Structure 1
């Protein structure tokens, strides 16, 4: 297998953006999506990550004098919300996409996030299941629903009648994650989250449920930040997919990647 990574980031030619490739070979691309870039968008005018990757592959084919008979294949394995920065793996062929998707289904892709939240998590909330490890890691299992307004909400313990006012009760799903407080003060906490299920807005909805919305996430109840000297970019929230580990779909080799969040709030 040819490794065409160059030992440095491959920029995707978008001014003032931080979207870039950190690893590439014949089968996969591992890239960083910046906050504000959609993973995939139905708006043809939008410079989403998938379209950026397709453009990159077209240019790469031209450079290598390879004739394409159609659009290059881009297999999206998982997504990040538009205001979230982080690492994604993308397949370049259908076999790799199927094998990586199977890893997602079997919960064998390890996804870790850093989040800066308002205050500290409320330990008195009701959960389907809660376990606290000796190292301070907290496992929680909840019920989550996609509301009619497009947002998600943790609905653990809510009666059916109340659920009906939010959305379709049959759409209720199980949400699982682990989190650990790295440090905190009176106003904010830095938390690492290990995502165990891939529900819509799962981390954002869970932190809101715990009474500590992610900083900048006004959609889920966070306070607005000042317009000037804010520690976050205008289109960002303080959430970053900073670690990703999986088995290479062809070689079986363990691939691990780590990203230092670019937003200033993570180092305040």
Structure 2
């Protein structure tokens, strides 16, 4: 799997991460976006040995879309501050089972992660960490709905849990209740969640940068007639 480069300069790299690729390496030792970026920079800039890769945010393995990476520790610190302060705008597309009661609005939950099982659950108000997301219905057909999601916070598995908790699991997300299966380009399972757009302030120029990532061939809508297919019913 090869990420698509969307933007690159001396301070930042922005890529379209394919579904199925880890953002950061884990105990499996499988290739990740971080290891791919390090190899890419070593070859492009002829830098043997270690290179700095500042992963300032990440996407879940079965999710595709925009990921921002810093080339220097200075840039990483400034970008991380933007994420922490909620100054970065994020837009996701999701296809879910079911439909919201309204065409747009905001959901607020409190979430808690079990690090042993890597499962996140909603908790009572006052417990866990607050999670906010604005939503808008883009299309609804055959018992499925395509949503535009703008998270105001960046909690682990946030969108997956907030949707599943309302009886609308993301298509393909077996972990949180979907009964459907979607395959990534490498044949492994993926979910119908795509980080479509990211708007951030350049860490040295101070200018807004807007990046949009196309969906790839494994995005469910890419299949002709998908909304009316067996999967879409």
Query: Secondary structure of 2:39's match?
Result: helix
Query: Secondary structure of 1:36's match?
Result: coil
Show CA shifts across 1:130-180 (max 9, x none).
Answer: xx8xxx43112111111352211122459xxxxxxxxxx6xx111111111
1:58-77 matched pairs, under 5 angstroms: 58-62=42-46, 68=48, 70-77=49-56
Aligned with residue 144 of structure 1, among 111, 119, 126: 111
Name the CA shift for 1:60/1:231 in 2 (closer, same or farther; >3 Å).
Answer: closer
After the TM superposition, list the runs of 4 or more consecutive aligned residues in structure 1 that deviate by more than 6 angstroms. none
Q: Equivalents in 1 of 2:84, 2:219: separation in Å?
A: 34
**Which has the greater radius of gyration?**
1
In structure 1, the partner of 2:31 is 47
Query: Secondary structure of 1:83's match?
Result: coil
1:242-253 matched pairs, under 5 angstroms: 242-253=196-207
Between Structure 1 and Structure 2, the one with more strand by share is: 2
Q: Equivalents in 1 of 2:122, 2:91: separation in Å?
A: 20
In structure 2, the partner of 1:26 is 10
TM-score, normalisation: structure 2: 0.87
TM-score, normalisation: structure 1: 0.76
Instruction: Give 5+ residue unaligned stretches, structure 2.
Output: 227-233
Query: Secondary structure of 1:244's match?
Result: strand
In the TM superposition, residue 264 of structure 1 has moved relative to its aligned partner by 4.0
Show CA shifts across 1:197-246 (max 9, x none).
Answer: 11110000011001010000000000033xxxx67653210000010100
Aligned length: 219
Q: Equivalents in 2 of 1:89, 1:31: separation in Å?
A: 7
Query: Secondary structure of 1:52's match?
Result: helix
